[in-house]
Structure 1
Amino acid sequence: MHFTSPKDSTPLPHIPDDLTLPQFFLDFNHPARPVRPPGVPWLIEDQTARPISFEEICLRTSSLANAFSLKWNIVENDAVCVFSPNHVDYPVCLWAIHRLGAIVTPANPGYSADELLHQLQTTKAALLLVYADFLPTALSAAKLAGLGEDRIVVIEPSAASPFNGKHETLSKLVAYGSSKPQNFVERKLRPGEAKTKVAFYSFSSGTTGKPKAVVIPHYAFIANILQKATHFGISDPSMKKKHMNPGDVAVAVLPFYHIYGLVVVLHYMLFAGLSLVVIPKFDFTKFLESVVRHKITHLFLVPPQIVLLCKHPAVKNYNLSHVKLCISGAAPLSGELMSSVRKVLPNATIGQGYGMTETCTTVSILGGSQKMGTVGSAGQILPGTIARVVRPDGTLCKEGEQGELVVTGPSMALGYLNNEAATKESFIDGWVRTGDEVIIRNSEVFVVDRLKEIIKVKGFQVAPAELEGHLLLHKAVADACVVGIPDEYSGEVPLAFIVLREDALKRIAKNPREGDQLKADLKKRIKSLAGGVVFIDAVPKNPSGKILRRVLRDKARQNYASQPRAKL
């Protein structure tokens, strides 16, 4: 059985197949794009509140592209790595690279030199753009990759940055490029060429192994933006109450190097006519201050940030009544947490979305006309996307049956760079195997868990995310991760790693027996926790908020699987 959007009778608008991303955003006025009111900036710098206009972005983009061409002869299909946190010049860097027909590979600024080296070598990057604070890591990785120091560009050095003045800076390059005649001819793509013309080498999250470079063409990126525009009806005059309107203000705190921040936040919000408040680093209390100071109406978050909204004592000091929409993505959000965040954001529509790097993000998201998302749902399937739910034997599930989600549509990536085996495993005849266990009802996707993370207890499947949602409701629990450990009788049993709140830690420090009582209480609350409860300092996560469950699973199987259950 195939599953489609409830809006599938509404045809998608024309998806240009001969445009690059900057051509689509800066040179072309698509009819699905709402009109941005005069004076509404594209970007707002968080710390200074400096507004950045369309005209400024266009000028800086063309000037930077010219400088890249003049200084390094960056040409078609060269890869350029952007190693930076969120910055108001981040889209300028991306679109300047694309103006030259080159390919962007965004890198996590939290990477070690070895991790960055893997990305530089995999993509054969010809140039490295780095935020000044991360220059030492960039220099180490570049040296090992054989990339000369003269091919490192510093994004805005500050007085506190370890910057030695030897490298070109973004501002100097923009000034240089604007002072010289244009040195390149931007190519117009042939009809259909955008479907294969590569825009990004975006690295997968690596929750189950080393990150792989996902090859994303310009067409897939543009298609997903227009799918969301159709889904939310942003230019539909018949929709009186829209989730987003030109002039609204969205937060850009999710990292732009990650597919969620790159597509949903940076590109789709700009297309929809919203202003983006660009926040380089997530600090919860400062984040709350920014939401209030800029009157931010739209929050795009991940579950760990939702947990903070529900549990952090500082929240009560801020009036968040102006927030209109809150979307959670990148990992499942339990129904209990969804209900809790409604109390914190009393006037906001709350919902979830689901997507992957391999699907150029959004597969499903909160319905365009839904006041509140269905509890436990990752949203409605986007128009133009077709989904299957597949049993282990390869047969198709009916509605309401559980199996692996497999999807196709206009936004699918092309595969993995230089990794034929992984490509053949995940990309099959235009369909993408997601590796996620789901149920689909009424065109809504309910994510059970990653297939590789499902715990098999006496032959029954137990979803760690569901147990974690229940655990997070306990007043003493700040965070949780559940993994399976081997058991002779049951095959596997769930073990919970728990991060305690400060007040609970203080009570246990005074009276260690309180810790034993709390473990007993948690096991009583969730009777399936036969593997026990372990207190830890922090749950390891990747930058998008996904739990690195394999880290704790390996630790559990090494340290706890052979211990008597009573000691846990």
Structure 2
Amino acid sequence: MPEIFTEPLDCVIPDDLTLTQFFLDSHHPRRPVRTDAPWLIEDETGRRIGYEEIRARTFGFANGLALRYGIKEEDVVLIFSPNHVDYPPAIWATHRLGGIVSGANPTYTAEELLHQIQAVKATLIIAHPSSLHTALDAARAAHIPSDRVITFGESTQPTVESIIQLGLSNEAAFVERRLKKGEGKTKVAFLNFSSGTTGKPKAVAIAHYAPIVNVIQIAQYTKVNENYAPWEEQRFRPSDIAAGVLPFFHIYGLVFSVYAVPFFGMSLVVIPKFSFTDFLKSIERHHITHLTLVPPQIVLLCKHPAVNNYDLSAIRFLISGAAPLSAELVNQLMKVIPNAQIGQGYGLTESSTSLTMFSVDEKIGIPGGAGRFLPGIVARVVRPDGSLAGFDEPGELRVKTPSLALGYWNDEKATKETFVEGWLCTGDEIIIREDKEVFVVDRLKEIMKVKGFQVAPAELEGCILDHGDVADTCVVPIPDDYSGELPLAFVVLRASAANRVSKDSREVDKVKASIMKHVADNKVAYKHLAGGVEFIDVIPKNPSGKLLRRVLRDRARQLKARELKAKL
């Protein structure tokens, strides 16, 4: 297969504007004329925040930060909070001052947060009252004065609201700089943490230009602001309402929710934390039309009994990202939201963000497929020996895209390993069909080798989730002298099955055998669950929804070690 070149970008993308200047101050041909719909909607209260209020609060916060804290060019502001309606203005204000934003996972321990503070050399921390104690502990350890920890919402610390009011009640104390031509491609906007293609989490340096490009790539691919179909069938329209449930500190939620949704003229319902039944209430209460989710959330949509208690008829679009979504789950989802366009996308922090998306010509994306590449991308699939793979042949995806990150912050070695001569080496094994549809097999480092054959955990998980007794699952490898590795499935049972098992111990073996038979009936022999099935109360996941496979891999090895010891 030769390299794949997608259609070029069909419009000029400014490289002399910051993200805030592009999204709050300028117009672009791909940008629809907004209705009077709000930019942001606070989930719990229903508070509606429009464009003028957004601009005013952004200025107020920028001016307040300059007056009280002297935030300036290249200073790093770290946001340690769940989603909040002032989270986007905090980002935009920091960028007005020429600063850099680093979002942190609000469930971090003080030690984990300290690592990020030190890695990015943060000078100010914006926390949420729920995470304030951790933020203060980490700030103390990093020798950051406690008055430089401020909060969304009321607390004993200085608040974002008080800083905004300070800024609004004073003349401008800063002069916003215009970038030189081309500077948008090099000036760092975000330091977003990623596991990288290998190893420990690293700070990915993302320039202002990259998310601007990615939003335009998505807009061109999905024909935003084009009259390409009847109004009711167009994918993204002004006045549509999107769920902002993905964490803003994560690249998927950051670029799509904070930037693409308002650019498309839509409203964003800001949801601080994902609780499934509360999420269903939010969909019904706000008549949410657009969902951007991850597979574990989709498993709940397909499996949770509470779904039947809520009106989900407003949903007309759902896209899944962050991990492969099985064909089996797509088929189940179509029954839950039959009127919606459903499909997948794929991207990385290092590509800030989307690389593929399902086409607007398809109501339902190709089951198991991640869509096709966005405009302006060059892609190749590389075999282990470095040669180019053919169509329908697996290999590592490598891409060139104008939305590429600058590299890993202060980590030259990792940057050179992942960003090679303009190519991003993704570390993901994919297959590209002749029709250019992309299928993400799995992370290369997570692929199992069973009797010399490659087995993708995500493929088996999709199959297992199609079993009637299964609510959730994660497949991990266990070592085996004969086969090298064997697949073992950790399974969360649905309530009805769990009830049967708790009442009759004989049901344990029956249900396990049924799950193993289900896989055996649907998969080739080397993909069978020869490592067994283990029941578990909950599958551990990170806040972006990715399975914490390593946690269960360690647990599986401990289980097998105990079993072996018991036999001796």
Distance 1:495 1:248 in 2: 43
Aligned position for 2:124: 127
Q: Does the 8 Å CA contact 1:531/1:565 hold for their aligned counterparts?
A: no
2:502 corresponds to which of 505, 509, 512: 509
Distance 1:16 1:444 in 2: 30
1:427 corresponds to which of 419, 423, 434: 419
Aligned position for 1:251: 243
1:311 corresponds to which of 303, 310, 319: 303
Q: Does the 8 Å CA contact 2:370/2:438 hold for their aligned counterparts?
A: yes
Aligned position for 2:105: 108
Q: Does the 8 Å CA contact 1:117/1:145 hold for their aligned counterparts?
A: yes
Q: Does the 8 Å CA contact 1:113/1:141 hold for their aligned counterparts?
A: yes
Q: CA RMSD in A?
A: 1.6
Q: Which amino acid aligns with 2:380?
A: R
| TM-superposition CA deviations, 1:286-343 (whole Å, max 9, x none) | 1111111111110111111101111111111112122110111111110000010000
Q: 1:238 to 1:524 in 2, by over 3 A?
A: closer
Distance 1:436 1:117 in 2: 30
1:491 corresponds to which of 464, 484, 490: 484
My pick for the range that moved more, 44-53 or 336-345, is: 44-53
Q: 1:256 to 1:445 in 2, by over 3 A?
A: same
Q: Does the 8 Å CA contact 1:388/1:407 hold for their aligned counterparts?
A: yes
Distance 2:58 2:499 in 1: 53
Aligned position for 1:88: 85
My pick for the range that moved more, 551-560 or 302-311, is: 551-560
Q: Does the 8 Å CA contact 2:7/2:376 hold for their aligned counterparts?
A: no
Equivalent residue runs for 1:213-292 within 5 Å: 213-240=203-230, 241-292=233-284
Partner of 2:257, secondary structure, is helix
| TM-superposition CA deviations, 1:335-372 (whole Å, max 9, x none) | 00001000000100100110110110101011122211
Distance 1:211 1:12 in 2: 35
Matched, 1:407 2:399: yes
Aligned position for 2:327: 335
Distance 1:561 1:367 in 2: 48
- 1:267: Cα distance to partner? 0.8
- 1:9: Cα distance to partner? 3.7
Matched, 1:382 2:377: no
Q: Does the 8 Å CA contact 1:485/1:561 hold for their aligned counterparts?
A: no
My pick for the range that moved more, 523-532 or 64-73, is: 523-532
Aligned position for 2:167: 177
- 1:464: Cα distance to partner? 0.5
- 1:239: Cα distance to partner? 4.3
Distance 2:481 2:114 in 1: 42
Q: Which amino acid aligns with 2:309?
A: N
Q: Does the 8 Å CA contact 2:37/2:267 hold for their aligned counterparts?
A: yes
Q: Does the 8 Å CA contact 2:209/2:403 hold for their aligned counterparts?
A: yes
Aligned position for 2:337: 345
Distance 1:420 1:318 in 2: 51
Q: Does the 8 Å CA contact 2:8/2:376 hold for their aligned counterparts?
A: no
- 1:12: Cα distance to partner? 3.0
Distance 1:2 1:252 in 2: 38
Q: Does the 8 Å CA contact 1:60/1:174 hold for their aligned counterparts?
A: yes
Aligned position for 2:524: none
- 1:28: Cα distance to partner? 0.6
Q: Does the 8 Å CA contact 2:197/2:427 hold for their aligned counterparts?
A: no
Q: Does the 8 Å CA contact 1:220/1:413 hold for their aligned counterparts?
A: yes
| TM-superposition CA deviations, 1:503-537 (whole Å, max 9, x none) | 22221111111001111111112231111111112
Distance 1:53 1:309 in 2: 31
Distance 1:308 1:317 in 2: 14
Aligned position for 2:136: 139
Q: 1:231 to 1:3 in 2, by over 3 A?
A: farther
Distance 2:3 2:308 in 1: 42
Distance 1:458 1:336 in 2: 26
Distance 1:565 1:271 in 2: 60
Aligned position for 2:437: 444
- 1:285: Cα distance to partner? 1.0
Matched, 1:472 2:465: yes
- 1:484: Cα distance to partner? 1.0
Q: Does the 8 Å CA contact 1:44/1:278 hold for their aligned counterparts?
A: yes
| TM-superposition CA deviations, 1:360-393 (whole Å, max 9, x none) | 0101011122211001001111011111111000
| TM-superposition CA deviations, 1:40-90 (whole Å, max 9, x none) | 111111111111000000001011101111111111011100111111111
Matched, 1:203 2:196: no
2:178 corresponds to which of 173, 181, 188: 188
Unaligned 5+ runs, structure 2: 521-527
Aligned position for 1:559: 559
Aligned position for 1:33: 31
Distance 1:526 1:252 in 2: 35
Distance 1:12 1:215 in 2: 26
Give the TM-score, by structure 1 length: 0.96
Distance 2:109 2:198 in 1: 18
Aligned position for 1:529: 529
Aligned position for 1:542: 542
- 1:209: Cα distance to partner? 4.3
Q: Which amino acid aligns with 1:368?
A: V
| TM-superposition CA deviations, 1:200-251 (whole Å, max 9, x none) | 0000147964311000000111100100010011022344442111111111
Distance 1:476 1:525 in 2: 11
Q: Does the 8 Å CA contact 2:9/2:217 hold for their aligned counterparts?
A: no
| TM-superposition CA deviations, 1:433-457 (whole Å, max 9, x none) | 1111100122221011110111111
Distance 1:4 1:47 in 2: 45
Q: How many corresponding residue pairs?
A: 557
Matched, 1:48 2:31: no
Give the TM-score, by structure 2 length: 0.96
2:389 corresponds to which of 384, 387, 397: 397
Aligned position for 1:160: none
Q: Which amino acid aligns with 1:234?
A: V
Unaligned 5+ runs, structure 1: 158-162
